[in-house]
Amino acid sequence: MSNALHFRNARILCARDGERRGDLYVADGRIVDEARDGATVIDCAGKLLAPAIVDLGVATIDRAAFRAGGIVRVGLLPDQNPVLDEPGIVQRSALIGRPDLWIHPIAAATRGLEGTDLAEMAICASAGARAVGTGPRWIADSGVMARVLAYARDLDLAVITHAEDGGLVGDAVATIGETATRLGLPAAPALAEPLAIARDLMLAEAADARIHIRQVTTAAGFDLVRAAKRRGVRVTCGITPAHLLLSDIAMSDFRTFARLSPPLRSEEDRRAALAALADGTIDVLCSGHDPRGPEEKRLPFADAVPGAAGAATLLPLALGLVLDGAVTLDRLPALLARNPASVLGLDSGVLAPGQEADLMLVDPDKPWQINADTLPGMAGNTPFDGLPVQGRVLRLFKGGREITTG
């Protein structure tokens, strides 16, 4: 029986070649330049055929949510239990999802993510780590961060950072502003983000290291990243749909599904995020997938655990940004696949001969409503509960092998 596929009558999206209509061929798990005898024909009926999503920076492995969202590769954050700071733990994490899901561990930059002693990055890299990260906190010690960047540079690994100055944030759960004041929530200034970004960019520039700021959410932060890119600093940055579509107003009525890290920002910062998406400052659109059950979310706002389930909603929310004119459709494959793959050092995310056939067939016009109670995955703690959206994954392929999405 042939393992070749022939995708016919597709609307093909590629980060390198843009959009075209036509056919795409797969053989032995890879994209090829011509049809193979005996190939199984899949009539795409004019639907979108695009690279499957590479989700950079997930907190939890949640196969059902990933399948529903068109995700076949994930960058796993280091703040696991146990922390990803030992080669054995890294290796096990890298292998548990295959063949349907490829997990690319982000190893801890420091032991136990304590921000003091460097972890064994080289050994963790040999065990399968594709980057190193600071976890959910910023490394406050500049000397330690300088050594992290230099070590990672020598290993040709990106350093993935969380950009909030912990000294300013403290125990805050919100951004200083009218909403936090009205709700009486402990809040920190948005300045905590650009302060952290400025220091890390200066150190990365001095070390000539690759740095990826996992989430930039403030106007001042985007200005710093833009300026650094103009200077040639090897910096990329990401964002989640929540920080593009929601401001701190979404926390009204103490809605704990809107308790995120970093916290939601002002409307001015949200608009700055949309501008940064439009002008190319933002490189990666990620889910920030962090499913939390009622025992962690049905609490007073300040006691609730931050995080949102985002994997199953990433694609339709991204398509919504296209409908709103915030980004063009032909940029989505770069934001969702090619650029996150590049940060992880993966040759993936492009529909070109020789590439692994990681593909999703999408109906971009399929309407549905996000429902926290029925969202696929471990939990449905989404701030978008009840939102009507468009876009469903019809079929999903990893290395030419179909994965059930239902």
Q: Rounded to whole angstroms, how far apart are CA atoms 220 and 226?
A: 10
Q: How many domains does the chain have?
A: 1
Predicted confidence at residue 352, as pLDDT, reads 94
The rounded Cα 181 to chain-centroid distance in angstroms is 31
Query: How would you write the pLDDT of the chain (406 residues) with one tens digit per residue?
Result: 468 999 999 999 999 889 999 999 999 999 999 999 999 999 999 999 999 999 999 999 999 999 999 999 999 999 999 999 999 999 999 999 888 999 999 999 999 999 999 999 999 999 999 999 999 999 999 999 999 999 999 999 999 999 999 999 999 999 999 999 999 999 999 999 999 999 999 999 999 999 999 999 999 999 999 999 999 999 999 999 999 999 999 999 899 999 999 999 999 999 999 999 999 999 999 999 999 999 999 999 999 999 999 999 999 999 999 999 999 999 999 999 999 999 999 999 999 999 999 999 999 999 999 999 999 999 999 999 999 999 999 999 999 999 987 6
Residue 122: inside a domain:
yes
Residue 382: inside a domain:
yes
The rounded Cα 83 to chain-centroid distance in angstroms is 19
Per the listing, tokens 């209509």 go with 21
The rounded Cα 328 to chain-centroid distance in angstroms is 19
Cα dihedral: 355, 356, 357, 360 (round 10): -100
Tell me whether strands 388-398 and 401-403 are parallel, antiparallel or unpaired: antiparallel
| Alpha-carbon distance values, 297 to 67, 235, 249, 312 (Å) | 24, 34, 18, 19
Domain that holds residue 323: 53-351+363-390
Residue 4: inside a domain:
no
Per the listing, tokens 């940004």 go with 321
Q: Rounded to whole angstroms, how far apart are CA atoms 94 and 115?
A: 24
Predicted confidence at residue 2, as pLDDT, reads 60
Residue 376: asked if its preceding bond is cis (omega within 30°), the reply is no
Predicted confidence at residue 254, as pLDDT, reads 92
The C-alpha angle 41, 43, 49, rounded to 5 degrees, equals 105
Burial 63-94 (b: 16+ CB within 10 A, else e): bebbbbbbbbbbbbbbbbeebbbbbebbbebb
Predicted confidence at residue 4, as pLDDT, reads 96
Closest to 147 in 3D by CA, of 65, 207, 212:
207
Residue 191: inside a domain:
yes
Residue 306: asked if its preceding bond is cis (omega within 30°), the reply is no
The rounded Cα 105 to chain-centroid distance in angstroms is 13
Predicted confidence at residue 406, as pLDDT, reads 62
Q: Rounded to whole angstroms, how far apart are CA atoms 367 and 361?
A: 16
State the CATH number of the domain containing residue 270.
3.20.20.140
Predicted confidence at residue 3, as pLDDT, reads 85
| Alpha-carbon distance values, 177 to 63, 139, 180, 235, 265 (Å) | 37, 26, 6, 29, 9
Residue 10: inside a domain:
no
Q: Is 21 helix (H, G, I), strand (E, B) or coil?
A: strand
Q: What is the DSSP string of 61-114?
A: --HHHHHHHTEEEEEE-S--SS-S-SHHHHHHHHHTTTTT-EEEEEEESBGGG-
As given in the structure block, the two tokens for residue 75 are: 């960058």
Per the listing, tokens 């890290």 go with 261
Residue 145: inside a domain:
yes
